[in-house]
Amino acid sequence: MALDRSKTQSQEIANSPLSVVAGADVDLALSKARLLTDHVQELLWQGMRDADGKEVAFGYDTVVTMDFLLDIVTGLYRSAGAEA
């Protein structure tokens, strides 16, 4: 991401070990956030397809991965100035 260090500030994400640096290129941050959101959505859809109308269940590692990706998405939205 293109950063102008003189215009950046660090922001903490509530309930997350991650923090973001505000001031990132807005279009790039939103684009990456969308890609990660699409990836999480695909994981959810794949789980539903695999369940074939039965109970949908995800393994712990998958849930932790999706949560981590959504934390990154939240950071990207906030770095672009949006409320996530």
* Domain annotation covers residue 61: yes
43 found inside a domain: yes
Question: Could you report the per-residue pLDDT of 39-79, keeping only the tens digit for each?
Answer: 999 999 999 999 888 888 889 999 999 999 999 888 888 77
65 assigned to some structural domain:
yes
The torsion region of residue 65 among left (phi > 0), alpha (psi -120 to 50) and beta comes to alpha
Query: Would the pTM count as exceeding 0.85?
Result: no
Domain assignment of residue 7, yes or no: no
Domain containing residue 45: 13-79
Instruction: Please report whether residue 67 resides in a domain.
Output: yes
pLDDT in the model for residue 41: 93
Buried b (16+ CB within 10 A) or exposed e, 24-51: beeeebbebbeebbeebeeeeeeeeeee
- Is 2 part of any domain? no
Question: At 19, is the pLDDT very low, low, confident or very high (cuts 50, 70, 90)?
Answer: low
Q: What's the domain count of the chain?
A: 1
